Amino acid sequence: MLSKLNLGQKFTLMLLGVFMVGILMGGIALSRLLNYTAQAELTSKALMLMETMNAVRQYTVDEVTPEISERSEVQFLPETVPSYSAHTVFKVLQSSPDYQDFSYREAVLNPTNPKDKADQLEASLVSKFKEADSPEEFHDFRNSPGGKLYYIARPIQIKQEACLSCHSTPERAPKSMVDLYGRQNGFGWKLNDIIGTQIISVPAQTVFTKARKSLLITLGVFTGVFAIAILLVNYWLKRYVVRPLNRMAATAEAVSTGDTKAEFTKWSDDEVGKLTDSFNRMRLSLQMAMQRLERNRNRRPGGSQSG
């Protein structure tokens, strides 16, 4: 099958084979790299959001709570709770297209509000954060009722005494808060305890879609460049190899039928040019041999030439 193809077709098939193997191996490696890059980009955004939420929490503790602490004794005000402030600001950020896919949650082992209760995965993260050699954050994929999520988690640690005014004992907590949530939940916290985890999540499909788009664009560019390369190689091959060889084949055919004056035209000084020189020397040698044979034949008795 291959023996019936011309040089251009053989080179094209060879390049296509190399391209298919290269695109397969490169596509797998590139897909993994782009997935990692997409995760890293989303992680960077999530961590920036988390730092923003921590700044809002700190502002609430330092600036808001002291200003309205007297009012909160009479009536519980959610604005004094750092978690409430963080979630409120995050809802504002979600109105931006850049952050509309993100979600924010503060999961606590023993929360005041039952809706903040940590689930099984979140509780396991809190346990990991409590370990001595635990990293400062975790990021991974998790399953949820709405689909697979990519999450970044950091610990929530009690670092300020002001937080204990509401969560150490029911007696120290604002009466209005105890009346609203009861005396059973959200108490017993201690300074430097890790009581929960901050989690920012984004649908896993967002990660994969972003990586897939980058992969398709990159593979499209590679395919376009390779197609141009094949066209250029075929053009170069046809002009500088195939055409000279075809001319030499036609000249060799003429010489083989007795036209010893037919000359092999030299177009370049490369290997094809050297082959042309060799054919011309062979033609001259053949021409000289034919002339000698003709002279010897004419010198024999009975030849056309007289002595």
pLDDT-based confidence at 123, cuts 50/70/90? Answer: very high
169 with 281, same domain: the answer is no
183 with 292, same domain: the answer is no
Give the pLDDT confidence score for residue 3 in this predicted structure. 64
244 with 170, same domain: the answer is no
Q: Which of 198, 214, 230 is the last residue of a domain?
A: 214
Domain count, the chain: 2
Q: Which of 186, 214, 242 is the last residue of a domain?
A: 214
pLDDT-based confidence at 6, cuts 50/70/90? Answer: low
What predicted TM-score, i.e. pTM, was given to this entire model?
0.60
The pair of three-digit structure tokens given for residue 295, joined into one six-digit string: 């002279």
Task: Give which of 110, 195, 105 is closest to 155, Cα–Cα.
Answer: 195
Mean pLDDT of the chain: 81
157 with 79, same domain: the answer is yes
pLDDT at 305 over 70: no
Q: List strands edge to edge, sheet with 194-203.
A: 103-108, 194-203, 147-157, 138-144
pLDDT at 21 over 60: yes
The pair of three-digit structure tokens given for residue 292, joined into one six-digit string: 């000698």
List beta partners, residue 148.
143
On whether the CB atoms of residues 239 and 267 are closer than 8 A, the answer is no
pLDDT-based confidence at 307, cuts 50/70/90? Answer: very low
Residue 307 lies in a domain: no
In this prediction, residues 119-141 reach a mean pLDDT of 87
Task: Give which of 116, 129, 130 is closest to 86, Cα–Cα.
Answer: 116
Q: Which of 103-107, 206-210, 229-233, 261-265 has the lowest mean pLDDT?
A: 261-265
Q: Is residue 89 within a helix (H) or strand (E), and if so which, with residue range?
A: helix 82-93
Q: Tens digits of per-residue pLDDT, 32-46?
A: 887 788 778 888 888
Contacts with 291 (C-beta within 8 Å, 6 or more apart), sequence order? none
Give the pLDDT confidence score for residue 306 in this predicted structure. 45
- Where in the sequence is the domain holding 133, given as residue range(s)? 2-214
The pair of three-digit structure tokens given for residue 232, joined into one six-digit string: 């250029």
Q: Tens digits of per-residue pLDDT, 52-84?
A: 998 998 888 888 877 776 665 656 777 778 888
